[in-house]
Amino acid sequence: MAGVSLKCGDCGALLRSVEEAQEHAELTTHTNFSESTEAVLNLVCTTCGKPCRSKTGLLSVKPVNASHFLGFRPNIISYVSLINLIMKSSTLILASWSQLVIEMVVPEVDKKLLEELEAMGFPVARATRALHYSGNASIEAAINWVVEHENDSDIDQIPLVPVNTKVEAPKPSLTPEELKAKQQELRYISHFLYSRISSIFFIFISLFLQERIRVGKELLEAKRIEEENERKRIVALRKAEKEEEKRAREKIRQKLEEDKAERRRKLGLPPEDSSSVKHSSPVVEEKKSSLPIRPATKAEQMRECLRALKQNHKDDDAKVKRAFQTLLTFAGNVVKNPDEEKFRKIRLSNQSFQERVGALRGGIEFLELCGFEKIEGGEFLFLARDKVDIAVLNSAGAELDSAIRNPFFGVL
């Protein structure tokens, strides 16, 4: 009967034409092809509809891509399903390999010698092991083997040997064709597992990158909100400064008017007619500038810190003035002796420091604006030599001097 197909002698796959045989050879590196009278079957996979030419040809067809076989797309796949699929595939491989394991049986020994050893009081397992490893030579050889190996941990265990103990020509449990088909099946199952694991890896990478992008966006949004809040705080701070200056000017004006009235009274002059007094021109509201708001300088932050310190302790002017003078002393000592560590290190638990500065709200914050940092668990305030900024310390001194000399500083 004339051949109707080409058969691969290595895996048994049936192929329709020479072109298919060449493609199969490139895929599997098989080269043993012959004509066959077997018809090529038209098998179809019930899961994905993939056609196949023979039952063994299922193993010779190039595996489909991971997304087609598993039927998923990124970000939709169930990881539990993937893990279950890998576990099932691994179980299939173990089951296939278990069929290739050589069967082990109890070795055959001389029954007469075995009975004699049992009559002498040796257990069956020990007697069988001794006869097997002594070569069933004699009773004396078996007893000598027992004496030499009586301390072995497995002396009383039945020995097991392969079904065929001939080393030169072992008899396989499978025929050569079945063994080749089983090996081919295991190769493609391994390829299948590799492709599945690769798919999972790329999905995890994709999810990781998406998470990085999301976190980056959140950080940018948080930074934008922080900058917006800082801008609003600076605007409110400048508004408060303008209002404070306006109130201070009004108090000065009232004081001048009172002094003027007092002088007229002492000179015996009549009080000044209020209708003739030129009223101060109304304050024109400043137009809002469209220019970007300038960020607060270090000096402005120091001024606000001193103003807050005075407001928090406005009932005790002497204590506030003493705190200002102490802070001025600290800043002046560092400017005059920047290399002396004793002027750049302050113990927070010092009683004198606590009474003058530490116990007042805003004192330590002012020193931190000058460059001091808390060290050793917050026990000391320390200004590192490389962080000494003379310009900042001079600005701090100017603000402290203004706070000490200006009677309207921080007045509401």
104-162: CATH superfamily: Ubiquitin-associated (UBA) domain (1.10.8.10)
- For 83-128, what is each residue's pLDDT tens digit? 555 555 556 555 555 544 456 788 888 888 888 888 888 888 888 8
- Please give the backbone phi and psi of residue 170, each rounded to the nearest 5 degrees, phi first: -70, 140
List, edge to edge, every strand of the sheet that includes 14-15: 14-15, 5-8, 33-36
Return per-residue pLDDT of the chain as tens, 412 residues. Answer: 556 778 888 887 888 788 888 888 877 778 888 888 777 766 656 555 555 655 444 444 444 343 343 333 333 344 455 555 555 555 655 555 554 445 678 888 888 888 888 888 888 888 888 888 888 888 888 888 888 888 888 888 888 877 654 434 344 456 778 878 888 888 888 777 777 787 787 887 888 888 889 999 999 999 999 999 999 999 999 999 999 999 999 999 999 988 888 887 887 777 776 655 554 444 444 444 444 555 667 788 888 888 888 888 877 888 888 888 898 898 889 888 888 888 888 988 888 888 888 888 888 888 888 888 888 888 888 988 888 888 888 888 888 888 888 777 765 4
Exposed/middle/buried for 351, CB within 10 Å: 0-12, 13-18, 19+? Answer: exposed
- Please give the backbone phi and psi of residue 288, each rounded to the nearest 5 degrees, phi first: -70, 130
192 neighbors 186 (Cβ within 8 angstroms): no
In CATH, the number for domain 296-405 is: 1.20.58.2190
Residue/partner pairs of 182-185 with CB below 8 Å, 24 or more apart = 182/96, 182/99, 182/100, 184/10, 184/11, 184/28, 184/56, 184/59, 184/60, 185/59, 185/96
> Where are any strands of DSSP class E within 111-198?
161-162
Q: How far apart are CA 329 and CA 334, in angstroms?
A: 9
Q: How far apart are CA 410 and CA 175, in angstroms?
A: 102
Q: What angle do CA 306, 360, 374 make, to 5 degrees?
A: 90
What is the length of the chain? 412
- How many whole angstroms from its chain centre is CA 151? 56
Q: How far apart are CA 89 and CA 95, in angstroms?
A: 10
Alpha carbons within 13 angstroms on the beta-carbon side of residue 57 total 24
Name the residue ranges covered by the structural domains of the chain: 5-62, 104-162, 296-405
Alpha carbons within 13 angstroms on the beta-carbon side of residue 308 total 14
